[in-house]
Amino acid sequence: MQSNSQQTLQVSIDALKQAAGFRAADCITDGMVVGLGSGSTARHATLRVAARLSEGSLADIVAIPTSDETERLARERGIPLTTLDDHPRIDITIDGADEVDPELDIIKGLGGFLVREKIVAYATEHEIIVVDHSKRVNLLGTRSPVPVEVVRFGWRNTMAALERTGAHIQMRMAGNAPYITDEGNYILDCRYPDGIEAPADLNATLNTIPGVVDNGLFLGVAKTVIIASPDGIEIVKRRP
């Protein structure tokens, strides 16, 4: 059972996530194609989009969800959905992150949806990342592992190759069984004890390993990061 202080902290963090998600959702305008991210902070953005549609302050949008979970939520709340095949360019995507560095490079994937999130991100004109202040880091990899999605066939060989990059690896689990992504793959969480000094080099190395589908390094993708803290909302934009 959680103590009163733990419950208060959780409520406070959730309120910050809601503030960031709502602020991002208010950037959407009529007629846009919108990417709906996954995870706790992005969920608040999706709920705000649904509320704006219901109250009439937003109209004529279509949305592309980044996970089965987000798709179910969007359908429940009446958000009209489409596909990337029908709308290959997305105006705005709102998504969360597990880490954000000063260059606005990020780590994503602790929610388990990194492949679809990355596909949607790279089809997006304006990627907005929403986080609470605890996700800010000076160096990627110091707070979060890098999730790496791998094909189940031969995954132990893939893991051995990942270990040779210096990673300490833990298989993502769902209870007593390996976690299975929406695409039917495993996730290996790769922790780099000293952080990641050269994320672009690591990204390239990881994605050349046979069996790796993709990894949670999202580099050069975020255009805007909305950070909620007890002091208020901070909006940081990528330098040109």
pLDDT digits (tens, 9 = 90+) for 146-173: 999 999 999 999 999 999 999 999 999 9
- Please state, in angstroms and rounded to a whole number, the distance separating the CA atoms of residues 55 and 140: 40
Q: What is the pLDDT of residue 14?
A: 87
DSSP collapsed to 3 states, 85-138: CCCCCEEEEEECCCEECCCCCEECCCCCCHHHHHHHHHCEEEEEEEEEHHHECC
Give the pLDDT score at 9: 47
The first and second tokens of residue 192, run together, are 């780099």
- pLDDT by residue for the chain (240 residues), tens digit each? 555 545 444 548 889 999 999 999 999 999 999 999 998 999 999 999 999 999 999 999 999 999 999 999 999 999 999 999 999 999 999 999 999 999 999 999 999 999 999 999 999 999 999 999 999 999 999 999 999 999 999 999 999 999 999 999 999 999 999 999 999 999 999 999 999 999 999 999 999 999 999 999 999 999 999 999 988 899 999 987
Burial of residue 16 (CB within 10 Å: 0-12, 13-18, 19+) is: buried
CATH 3.40.50.1360 residue ranges for the chain: 4-134+219-230
Q: Which CATH number, 1.10.287.70, 3.40.50.720, 1.10.10.10, 3.40.50.1360, labels domain 4-134+219-230?
A: 3.40.50.1360
Give the predicted TM-score (pTM) of the model. Answer: 0.92
Known active-site residue 125: no
Fold of 146-214: Alpha-Beta Plaits (3.30.70)
Marked catalytic residue, from 71, 117, 127, 149: 117
CB 149 within 8 A of CB 113: no
Instruction: Express each pLDDT in 105-140 by its tens digit.
Output: 999 999 999 999 999 999 999 999 999 999 999 999
